[in-house]
Amino acid sequence: METSQADTSLRQMQNRQPAERRLLDQLEDRLREFKAEVAERPFPYLAIAFLAGFASWTFPVRLVFLALTRLVSFLLGPAILLMGILKISELFSEPAGRT
C-alpha cells in the first residue's frame, strides 16, 4: 500500500515538472527581455524608480496600512453582526420539514 502511494506521488511530481519547467522558462525569458529593455532605455526606468522612492519617502506605506487596518477593524464588527442576523433569520425562515 505504501509503495502505491509513493508511486502515485512520484507520478504526480513527474507530471508537474514539465508545467513548472515551462513556467520557469517563461519567467526567465521575460526577465531577459526586461533586462534588455532596461539596458536599452535606462532613463525611464531610473525615473520610475526615483519617483517610487520619493513617494515612499514622503508618504510612508505604513500610514496606508494603518488606515486600512483601522477601516477594516471599524467595519468588521457590524459586518459580523449583520452576518449573524442573516443566519438567524435563515434558520427561523426555513420550513420545519427541511433540515
Query: Hey, where are the domains in the chain?
Result: 1-59, 60-99
Q: Is the pLDDT of residue 2 over 70?
A: no
pLDDT, tens only, 41-87: 999 999 999 998 888 788 787 888 899 999 999 999 999 999 999 99
Query: Crossing angle of helices 42-58/2-40, nearest 10°?
Result: 110
Three-state SS sequence of the chain: CHHHHHHHHHHHHHHHHHHHHHHHHHHHHHHHHHHHHHHHCHHHHHHHHHHHHHHHHHCCHHHHHHHHHHHHHHHHHHHHHHHHHHHHHHHHHCCCCCC
- Per-residue cell: 95: 420550513
